[in-house]
Amino acid sequence: MKKVSNLSVILGLSLLATATGANAETQNSVTVQSQSTTAPVMQSSLPVTESKLSESETIRAINTDLIRPKAVAQNVTSVSQLSDVKPTDWAFTALQSLVERYGCIAGYPDSTFRGKQATSRYEFAAGLNACLDKINEIISAGLADKVSKEDLATLQKLQEEFAAELATLRGRVDALDAKVAKLEAQQFSTTTKLSGLAFFNVTTGSGSNVLRDGAAPGNAPNTTMSGLVWLTLNTSFTGKDSLVTQLAVGNGNSAYSNAYGSAGFFNTTATTFTDQTAGATANTFVLRELSYTFPVFEKASLVVGPRVNFYKYFDGNRFIYPWNTTFNSINSTLLTNAKRGAGAVFMTPLGDQFDFKIGYLAESNEFGDSGASAANPTRGGLFGGNNALTAELGFKPSDAFKLRLLYSRTNLAGANPPATIGGAGFTPSFPGTATTAGGYNNGQSDVFVANFDWLVTKGFGIFGRYGYGSTNLNRALGGSNNVSMNTFQAGLAFPDLFKEGAQAMISFAMPFKFTDNDNVITSGKGNGGTQYDLEFSYIYPVTKNISLVPSAYFIFNPNNFSGNPTVFIGNLQAVFSF
């Protein structure tokens, strides 16, 4: 598209201001109208030539050359408000007349006019249209004597020259007005936006006679097809706050993990994260998240709610997404047993390179001990059941690298009456089952985790985690036992592989390894072997809203039994976002 300078616009529009004297002859009966056809190019000193654009190019031109200047323009009532326009400028008089006589010139927010900046025919037409509207207002108000014949004649010539641009501009504005009216009439809410994710999973696997603690050897189940949907309502009342209400429903049952896992374990052996029921039973909607985020202090924010998802705020990693990993890969296996809980999270930056988060969550998730949940007033409650206090310090020296250091103090409620104590759900801070005479009242864990991701080059990144936890188990008959655990994960990522928005990932993890000095572990320890998980996945965006995610998982020494056969799990997933 051909460009002219803002001063050239003044040269053209200055023709409107050549007759500014008080005795200028007027024409009261003339009404300014836009033209619907293109007239021959006007012969004048205006250095703008007619441009030939297709319909699509015209629309793009309007989007880029009209909407942009309007977004930065501010009304000018006196030429003295324009700091870069001086009385010695050759266009000063013309600009002064246009500003003070018709008020149809706008400047930038920094009080400049930027006369040397390139201007398109469409921007010129926008300025001309503003003058046309202003003069029509003057005539409609019965003040036609304020507009001279010369001005009207010049306007007519300019209308003929820019008829195509004016027609396109006005047509586009009319179309936008119609769309806005339709959206306002049909919109769901002025404060709430709905988004969603839907997952289709086809899962298969192989492996037989897999030894398990507390259960008969496991064998591969049948191939399954399952689905999961997350529907999120995001409501903002001030533009800076966010009320998140998320509903979820699914019919996956994590069959492969449950078929191969030891007693007291599920979702711990190569289970795709989205192969789940969402709630305690299949095909039942659950309230997955209910939280409110609002700003505090200058840059900090606070999240509070009865249903807050832990991994949404802590131990994140740019290369790991729930829809292409197992439960063991999302965050540290040891970090917390309150994966979804009631409480609050405080987040704040610390300068340009650091950030800090601290949160307290009491378990209210449907996979844990519901009797000891935050919503139960007679047992558990906000402080008496499974809960965790977690802090994270982030260090980001550049956009390519981030390091996270985490500490979590967790409480694991025992049975009532005291009996065995153990983990339930996915990756609790104490992922095993322990027993002793009289049982346990509760247990407390101190967990330390380091996590990093590094985009080494545009298409290649590395990431990793290491965690260490020490749990003290309080016996009901007095005394205590201690169990130590550690976990790690390392991986490679290939963003935009073969297509923009795609990502391939390789992850190698040790979900958990016990050091049981008191020999109280009855499930999860195996025979002293070490389970390793190797994961391959690839996210391929078919369209903006549809992706295909093939994944493959290999589990070596399942359930920490050395000599157990390697288990293979394959998953093909379709992800729909809206």
- Regarding whether 212 and 70 lie in a shared domain, the answer is no
Residue 415 covered by a domain: yes
- Regarding whether 512 and 366 lie in a shared domain, the answer is yes
The C-alpha atoms of residue 104 and residue 97 are separated, in whole angstroms, by 10
Does residue 388 register a pLDDT over 70?
yes
Residue 90, C-beta contacts closer than 8 angstroms, at least 6 positions apart: none
- Regarding whether 212 and 179 lie in a shared domain, the answer is no
Does residue 9 register a pLDDT over 70?
no
Q: Measuring CA to CA, which residue among 109, 98, 24, 97 is closest to residue 73?
A: 109
- Regarding whether 126 and 77 lie in a shared domain, the answer is yes
- Regarding whether 215 and 115 lie in a shared domain, the answer is no
Which residue would you say has higher pLDDT here, 54 or 245? 245
What is the enclosing helix (H) or strand (E) of 173?
Answer: helix 163-186
Residue 240 covered by a domain: no
Q: What is the pLDDT, as a whole number, of residue 318?
A: 94
Which residue would you say has higher pLDDT here, 446 or 268? 446
Q: Is the peptide bond preceding residue 417 cis, with omega within 30 degrees of 0?
A: yes
* 181-195, 344-358, 510-524: range with lowest mean pLDDT: 181-195
Q: What tens digit of pLDDT does each residue of 394-406 get? A: 999 999 999 999 9
User: Is residue 85 very low, low, confident or very high in pLDDT (cuts 50, 70, 90)?
Assistant: confident
User: Is residue 484 very low, low, confident or very high in pLDDT (cuts 50, 70, 90)?
Assistant: confident
Report in angstroms the alpha-carbon separations of 82 from 71, 77, 330. Answer: 18, 10, 56
Phi-psi region of 241 (alpha: psi -120 to 50; beta: other; left: phi over 0): beta
Q: What tens digit of pLDDT does each residue of 278-330 get? A: 877 889 999 999 999 999 988 999 999 999 998 899 999 999 988 888 888 88
Residue 325 covered by a domain: yes
Q: What is the pLDDT, as a whole number, of residue 178?
A: 77
Q: What is the pLDDT, as a whole number, of residue 124?
A: 73
The C-alpha atoms of residue 102 and residue 99 are separated, in whole angstroms, by 6
Share of the chain above pLDDT 90, in %: 34
Does residue 93 register a pLDDT over 80?
no
Report how many domains make up the chain: 2
- Regarding whether 215 and 109 lie in a shared domain, the answer is no
Q: What is the CATH number of the domain that holds 530?
A: 2.40.160
Does residue 177 register a pLDDT over 80?
no
* 56-70, 237-251, 268-282: range with lowest mean pLDDT: 56-70
- Regarding whether 373 and 466 lie in a shared domain, the answer is yes
Q: What tens digit of pLDDT does each residue of 148-169 get? A: 777 777 777 777 777 777 777 7
Does residue 4 register a pLDDT over 90?
no
Q: What is the pLDDT, as a whole number, of residue 120?
A: 67
Residue 69 covered by a domain: yes
Q: Is the dihedral of CA 168, 169, 174, 180 positive or negative?
A: positive
Q: What is the pLDDT, as a whole number, of residue 118?
A: 64
- Regarding whether 215 and 127 lie in a shared domain, the answer is no
The C-alpha atoms of residue 312 and residue 288 are separated, in whole angstroms, by 12
Which residue range(s) make up the domain with 45?
Answer: 3-186
Residue 118 covered by a domain: yes
Does residue 200 register a pLDDT over 90?
yes
Residue 337 covered by a domain: yes
User: Is residue 259 very low, low, confident or very high in pLDDT (cuts 50, 70, 90)?
Assistant: confident
Does residue 17 register a pLDDT over 70?
no
By the 10 Å C-beta count (0-12 exposed, 13-18 middle, 19+ buried), 86 is classed as: exposed
**Mean pLDDT score across all residues of the chain:** 78
Q: What is the pLDDT, as a whole number, of residue 314?
A: 94
Write down the residue that tokens 């030429």 correspond to.
79
- Regarding whether 342 and 474 lie in a shared domain, the answer is yes
Q: Where are the alpha helices (DSSP H) in 66-162?
A: 67-72, 92-97, 121-140, 149-161
Cβ atoms 7, 115 nearer than 8 A: yes
- Regarding whether 212 and 156 lie in a shared domain, the answer is no
What is the enclosing helix (H) or strand (E) of 225?
Answer: strand 224-235
Residue 348, C-beta contacts closer than 8 angstroms, at least 6 positions apart: 297, 299, 300, 301, 355, 356, 357
Write down the residue that tokens 């836009």 correspond to.
34
- Regarding whether 105 and 53 lie in a shared domain, the answer is yes
Residue 261 covered by a domain: no
Residue 99 φ/ψ, nearest 5 degrees = -70, -50
The C-alpha atoms of residue 11 and residue 124 are separated, in whole angstroms, by 11
User: Is residue 55 very low, low, confident or very high in pLDDT (cuts 50, 70, 90)?
Assistant: very low
- Regarding whether 383 and 415 lie in a shared domain, the answer is yes
Report in angstroms the alpha-carbon separations of 271 from 45, 84, 115, 387. Answer: 74, 65, 63, 25
Residue 508 covered by a domain: yes
Q: What is the pLDDT, as a whole number, of residue 489?
A: 95
The C-alpha atoms of residue 557 and residue 207 are separated, in whole angstroms, by 12
Does residue 91 register a pLDDT over 80?
no
Q: Is the dihedral of CA 376, 380, 386, 391 positive or negative?
A: positive
Burial letters for 490-502: b for 16+ Cβ neighbours within 10 Å, e otherwise? ebebbbebeeeeb
